[in-house]
């Protein structure tokens, strides 16, 4: 082999070594459990299927003190086309929470997205509709009375653009009184649970937040048994600094309990921004949300819930929201290792 050929090979090997070093992943973070460092309950949305994975269960139980059913307690699952109820999967979530000493948050009783057949059949008869409405809420919230610490009674009542309220079967049948009526029957079903309104984009859309707060004010004037406000906090990584704090401050001014109820930060979109920059943005927002909730009086800190446990379990990895299939919106990666967002959450609380 000629000297020049040897030099080329040596140079190539050195370059490959450098590239290999550049691609070596950073050492995994070592953090205390999330639930141990937070001055409020730390929750996660879970599903029956995921609970079959021992690694998932171990990560969940180590880090979280509260659970929300991702899907199993929604009307789509419980109410059958013939008007009967199926609680099999919801009961599995409740049983898991009870056996493991976890708080259970109920999600949800009334959501604009559903127009189930049993209700459509009586939509022209207001009295019959309200009887069916009451029966459903009393049955579902009543079943978990004494275990569910709170319920998202009405989910996403405000229009997408913040211009008024959503048109839906419930509103068509009962008017906007469908919200107060749902709260009334939920209180009858469970006198102790904290009853919530829950909505999204309250951080990124001030108009929507203002409309949401007008509804809250109206309900409070009526004496409706509203006890808390859920801000879902599904975010994009480039949300402006201070937006989360402004939203939580405005919501908390009502004096009601506040739930950061479905936190995640998508890395989708903004193709000109690097993944590293998006992960940094995600961490910044996790820290801001934790700090904003922690700044409230202790009586108003209901919980901080992430919408999933590991990235690969997220709704943003599954159709129809999967995007490129590589989103990483949560505090733990696919293998259950804590990410920069988890570290920022703990750092904001002064615990890491």
Q: Is pLDDT at 31 greater than 80 in this prediction? A: yes
Which of 72, 156, 203, 288 is flagged as catalytic?
156
pLDDT at 5: 35
Whether 332 is covered by a domain: the verdict is yes
Query: How do residues 82-127 score in pLDDT, each as one tens digit?
Result: 999 999 999 999 999 999 999 999 999 999 999 999 999 999 999 9
What's 166's domain CATH number?
A: 3.20.20.80
pLDDT at 19: 41
Q: What percent of the chain has pLDDT over 90?
A: 87
CA-closest candidate to residue 140, choices 129, 152, 130: 152
Residues 182-189, mean pLDDT to the nearest whole number: 98
Whether 28 is covered by a domain: the verdict is no
Q: In angstroms, what CA-CA distances link 172 with 80, 215, 244?
A: 21, 17, 33
pLDDT at 136: 98
Give CA–CA dist 186/247, Å, rounded: 26
Q: How many CB atoms lie within 10 A of CB 49?
A: 13
Whether 79 is covered by a domain: the verdict is yes
pLDDT at 326: 85
pLDDT at 17: 40
Query: How do residues 303-344 score in pLDDT, each as one tens digit?
Result: 999 999 999 999 999 878 876 678 999 999 999 999 999 999
Q: How many CB atoms lie within 10 A of CB 171?
A: 16
pLDDT band at 25 (very low <50, low <70, confident <90, very high): low
Which of 72, 203, 262, 346 is flagged as catalytic?
262
Long-range contacts of 71-78 (CB under 8 A, 24+ apart): 71/47, 72/47, 72/48, 73/106, 73/107, 73/108, 73/140, 74/107, 74/108, 74/111, 74/114, 75/109, 75/110, 75/111, 75/114, 75/116, 75/136, 76/114, 76/116, 78/140
Average pLDDT, the chain: 92
The 10 Å CB-count burial string (b at 16+, else e) for 129-155 is: bbebbbebbbebbebbeeebbbbbbbb
Residue 135 token pair: 């029966």
Give CA–CA dist 113/123, Å, rounded: 16
CA-closest candidate to residue 104, choices 54, 184, 27, 43: 43
Residue 262 among the catalytic residues: yes
Residue 291 among the catalytic residues: no
| Number of domains within the chain | 1
Cut 0.85: pTM above it: yes
Domain that holds residue 265: 35-348
Whether 15 is covered by a domain: the verdict is no
Residues 44-68, mean pLDDT to the nearest whole number: 98
């Amino acid at each position: 082999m000629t000297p020049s050929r040897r030099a080329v090979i040596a140079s190539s090997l050195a370059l490959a070594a450098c590239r290999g070093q550049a691609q070596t992943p950073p050492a995994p973070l070592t953090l205390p459990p999330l639930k141990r460092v937070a001055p409020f309950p730390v929750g996660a949305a879970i599903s029956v299927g995921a609970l079959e994975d021992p690694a998932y269960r171990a990560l969940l139980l180590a880090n979280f003190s509260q659970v929300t059913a991702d899907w199993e307690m929604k009307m789509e699952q419980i109410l059958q086309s013939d008007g009967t109820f199926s609680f099999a999967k919801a009961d599995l979530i409740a049983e898991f929470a009870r056996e493991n000493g976890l708080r259970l948050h109920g999600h949800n009783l009334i959501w604009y997205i559903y127009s189930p057949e049993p209700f459509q059949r009586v939509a022209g008869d207001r009295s019959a509709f309200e009887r069916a409405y009451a029966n459903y809420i009393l049955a579902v919230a009543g079943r978990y009375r004494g275990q569910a610490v709170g319920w998202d009674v009405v989910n996403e009542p405000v229009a997408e653009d913040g211009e008024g309220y959503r048109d839906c079967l419930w509103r068509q049948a009962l008017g906007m009184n469908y919200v107060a009526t749902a709260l009334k029957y939920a209180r009858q079903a469970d006198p102790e649970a904290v009853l919530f309104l829950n909505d999204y984009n309250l951080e990124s859309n001030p108009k929507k937040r203002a409309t949401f707060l007008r509804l809250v004010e109206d309900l409070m004037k009526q004496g409706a048994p509203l006890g808390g406000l859920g801000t879902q906090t599904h975010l994009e990584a480039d949300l402006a600094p201070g937006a989360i704090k402004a939203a939580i401050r405005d919501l908390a001014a009502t004096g009601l309990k506040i739930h950061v109820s479905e936190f995640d930060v998508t890395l989708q979109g903004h193709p000109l921004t690097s993944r590293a920059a998006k992960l940094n943005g995600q961490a910044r927002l996790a820290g801001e949300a934790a700090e904003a909730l922690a700044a409230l009086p202790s009586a108003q800190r209901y919980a901080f819930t992430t919408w999933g446990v590991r990235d690969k379990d997220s709704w943003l990895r599954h159709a129809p929201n999967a995007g490129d299939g590589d989103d990483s919106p949560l505090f733990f990666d696919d293998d259950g290792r804590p990410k920069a967002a988890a570290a920022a959450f703990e750092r904001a609380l002064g615990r890491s």
